[in-house]
Structure 1
């Protein structure tokens, strides 16, 4: 009975060892592939260190699990088998059989190097069998040093945080600056609405057939306009509120280094016969220099800058640009002088002209026609420096709007003397002659181009003509014209008989 049981045990052990050997080979092949992938990843990360003995521990664990499961299956199949089977003996037999099986497999395979590593690993596993003391020892673990660029912490996103903070500050400043400009414009209009309605029939024309929203028109976040009409001798008045670009954070920062003020410009367009012919301007020093270079009428008729000392104003604040001397004496009366002294910080310039044609054209864009001129009164006032914080300071600007209406009535009543009118006419005639001389060659070129275009059209028309007689007559006519053009002109002198 013992011999039969030993024979059955050997048969079962041989079958088990074969199954385990094949499983071992497949497991080792998969493990080698995994180790190859891990080795590639280890070459990319310099600080990565692999545990050399982890794979063998996993193989031992797998072998233990497989051997115990196999023994249980065999015991379930053979009820006569002894229950006290030693698992360590199966492991020893398994290691011997697997080594023999692996050696025979290595000879049949083509890839010798791959399975030589497998046999070496199996031999090393036979030589180094784990003991109880080895299992009790703690493994020597090494903490992998991850490179700084692979770490995920909040310090890696400092650039994103700075950009987000900058965007938040920009949008907060945009909303705050836009609301401040809107509030300043509404405050100015509410304060001056009554005065504007008393002087004009229509206040706040929006350009539509039926006015929907009478009042200020928002051109941009910092520019507001107001159109008024319906006054004697006045075609219309345009009010432009030009505030600082408080909604733009970059402009706010530059304003700290180069401060500027909010400004209002009022342009009054007069009728043709309302104003005499003269150009008059009084401005601050900085603005006078700019106007003399940029404005076409001031640059042409008022090239000299004068001091208004004889009119009661100091030359430290204002500069006079005047064409006719008597015009300055009448327009700068006592009331205007008192306002100029009182609001010298708010008044930028006052410009009266009958030759307003806008800014001076550059030399690169010449014109062959005299620009169209208008009679305009232009006023530029600066807002008080504290008006953006204290809106009550805008109330102090009401006398400046009263100065506009006073100047309209003053210009309408004022008439030049005979000498002043003759001087103004001579100045305008001189400017016209100079313009014609400078543009003579250009006008000749334009006329030549027109003649050539006319001849080209006529020639095409005759070429399309079917009558040969008409073509012959046209060619003779062109031939005579060409001879006449090439013949030098001779002047005839008439001599009187004695």
Structure 2
């Protein structure tokens, strides 16, 4: 921490010294450029007039000097000089200089340029001109410092938690710190810290204990590396939590659902969790159980909740740490949280797949629910009322983890005393299973309907794209028939496979009903619904007659199979002959007496 502060101070001092050194150098170049510009423009405007006058004055002096030097042999040279003079005359034309004079007079008559004064805060290198940049820089530095401090604090807290309960974990689990899926071959001595999932989440896997599959320890810390989340945690009173999730074997846990939680957590769990919302109807206060009024109980069966609270150390722990326990969650039907987009998934059409893929999807939908048998215990490391719980080995290692181990032993050994409670729990699970199968069946029907619609749509596009009018006409007729068939009301029909006097029932009463039905048909054949009552009675008689025939056929088939078995086995035949002789002998003795 001191190193970070010193580096920040050095950086600020260096920035200030560089800014002070270059204070007058940023705009000095532009100031020199402005002065040079005005110095150059002044001689160019005023010096245009003396240039031709100077040449005109020097011209006659040059001609006077050349007059005594002329000779007869230098005619050609004189001619050349004469040509040069002509060039000079053409170069320095009077009209040209007159124009320059007019230009000079016009330029002198123009007003002087006025330069606007630039504000001082823009011409100088001052800090007042960079207030927004300075604020942003300070904010970024503060965010960086908070990130480093928060991440370091979370890492230190995770290390303290791990070291405080490592000895107790080693005594109760054969493997600590490995979930069996990593390729790292570290030993228990080499694992010196919890596995870091993120800067605010640390996990630790433990396994190798009787009656459970594994235990996952999650350290869910406040996002101290983010300044905004830190402020939100203070406003919403969010705490650091440590969560123990234990998975039981299939036969090592009784069938019940139970939850003891604080009021806010109980409402959230009852709203979001599938098993609690299905098996636990209402939330009850924990006052009747001798606990604090801040806790609520969600229980499927009252005996389970009473046994957990009375027979375990939950009450003593809550009395010792009133703000430490967040919730205890026991369930043999744990399926996680409710899906937020379940309705959208059922209503949205799936992508078109082949028949085999659709059948595989239906098979997956019809499979049994994947449930887990879990015990979840959550503790607060910091109390909600502002009091800080000391993060030492005495609180976490001795109390938190010992309570979890005690709950593991109790849940694995707990069984219902009466069969009625067991049957009640089984019926509840059968009811939930039926609801699940109905929902799966509904999803399958929706998927089948979607596939039929896609198939019909593809067939329609194929027919409409073809140029065969006859094919289109046949397809329209077929669609019309299908639509008319769908719109026609469905009527129950009963086909009579017998004529008058040809079929009789075994029950004489049914035969009387049959005769009355025939008479009703002959007399009121044109009246619709006149013989519906007799038809319903006749339908019931037919069902009873079929059931009677089925029983007779079953008994006859059993007798036939028995006779065939006796005929195939000679030993049974001999035994039956001996039995028959004994029966005849007994009859003879009884008649003689």
- Please tell me the TM-score bracket, short chain as reference: 0.5 to 0.7
Deviates more, 1:286-295 or 1:428-437: 428-437
CA distance 1:181–1:173, shift in 2 (3 Å): same
2:444 match: 443
1:347 match: 325
State the distance in 2 between where 1:389 and 1:426 align.
46
Which structure 1 residue ranges, 5 or more long, are not aligned?
Answer: 1-40, 79-97, 125-139, 457-481
TM-score normalized by structure 1? 0.65
CA distance 1:180–1:52, shift in 2 (3 Å): closer
Cα-to-partner distance string for 1:180-211 (whole Å, 9 max, x where unaligned): 00000000000000011111111001632343
Cα-to-partner distance string for 1:66-96 (whole Å, 9 max, x where unaligned): 98xx99xx9xxx9xxxxxxxxxxxxxxxxxx
Cα-to-partner distance string for 1:461-495 (whole Å, 9 max, x where unaligned): xxxxxxxxxxxxxxxxxxxxx9xx99977334796
1:328 aligns to 2:301 (yes or no): no
State the distance in 2 between where 1:281 and 1:221 align.
30
1:381 aligns to 2:399 (yes or no): no
Contact 1:103–1:119 (CA under 8 A) maintained in structure 2:
no
Which structure 2 residue ranges, 5 or more long, are not aligned?
Answer: 1-29, 66-88, 347-364, 458-481, 498-504, 513-593
Alignment of 1:6-25 (within 5 A): none
Contact 1:180–1:388 (CA under 8 A) maintained in structure 2:
no
State the distance in 1 between where 2:148 and 2:258 align.
42
State the distance in 2 between where 1:420 and 1:255 align.
43
Once the 2 structures are TM-superposed, how far is the Cα of residue 448 of structure 1 from its aligned partner?
5.7
CA distance 1:141–1:497, shift in 2 (3 Å): closer
Cα-to-partner distance string for 1:389-441 (whole Å, 9 max, x where unaligned): 88645641231111111111101111113111011011111222233444543
Alignment of 1:77-476 (within 5 A): 103-106=94-97, 116-118=102-104, 145-147=117-119, 150-154=122-126, 155-205=128-178, 207-212=181-186, 214=191, 215-314=193-292, 316-333=293-310, 335-362=313-340, 363-365=342-344, 371-385=369-383, 392-393=391-392, 395-398=394-397, 399-416=399-416, 417-447=418-448
State the distance in 1 between where 2:455 and 2:491 align.
24
Deviates more, 1:236-245 or 1:341-350: 341-350
Alignment of 1:469-484 (within 5 A): none
Contact 1:102–1:119 (CA under 8 A) maintained in structure 2:
no
1:497 match: 511
Cα-to-partner distance string for 1:143-201 (whole Å, 9 max, x where unaligned): 96114685343222211111111111111110000000000000000000001111111
Contact 2:331–2:373 (CA under 8 A) maintained in structure 1:
yes
TM-score normalized by structure 2? 0.55
State the distance in 1 between where 2:257 and 2:405 align.
19
State the distance in 2 between where 1:52 and 1:444 align.
93
State the distance in 2 between where 1:361 and 1:293 align.
12
State the distance in 2 between where 1:443 and 1:244 align.
43
Once the 2 structures are TM-superposed, how far is the Cα of residue 372 of structure 1 from its aligned partner?
1.3
Cα-to-partner distance string for 1:285-323 (whole Å, 9 max, x where unaligned): 110011110010000000201122332113x21100000
Contact 2:45–2:107 (CA under 8 A) maintained in structure 1:
no
Deviates more, 1:216-225 or 1:157-166: 157-166
Contact 1:384–1:393 (CA under 8 A) maintained in structure 2:
no
CA distance 1:147–1:337, shift in 2 (3 Å): same
State the distance in 2 between where 1:142 and 1:434 align.
90
CA distance 1:116–1:302, shift in 2 (3 Å): same
2:42 match: 55
State the distance in 2 between where 1:438 and 1:141 align.
88
CA distance 1:275–1:431, shift in 2 (3 Å): same
SS in 2 for 1:401: helix
State the distance in 2 between where 1:327 and 1:179 align.
43
CA distance 1:56–1:348, shift in 2 (3 Å): same
Question: How many residues are paired up?
Answer: 377
State the distance in 1 between where 2:299 and 2:143 align.
46
Once the 2 structures are TM-superposed, how far is the Cα of residue 332 of structure 1 from its aligned partner?
1.1
Once the 2 structures are TM-superposed, how far is the Cα of residue 451 of structure 1 from its aligned partner?
8.6
Cα-to-partner distance string for 1:337-374 (whole Å, 9 max, x where unaligned): 11122223011100000000000123425675564111
SS in 1 for 2:254: coil
State the distance in 1 between where 2:256 and 2:151 align.
41
Contact 1:317–1:344 (CA under 8 A) maintained in structure 2:
no
Structure 1 vs Structure 2 CA RMSD: 4.4
Once the 2 structures are TM-superposed, how far is the Cα of residue 218 of structure 1 from its aligned partner?
0.5
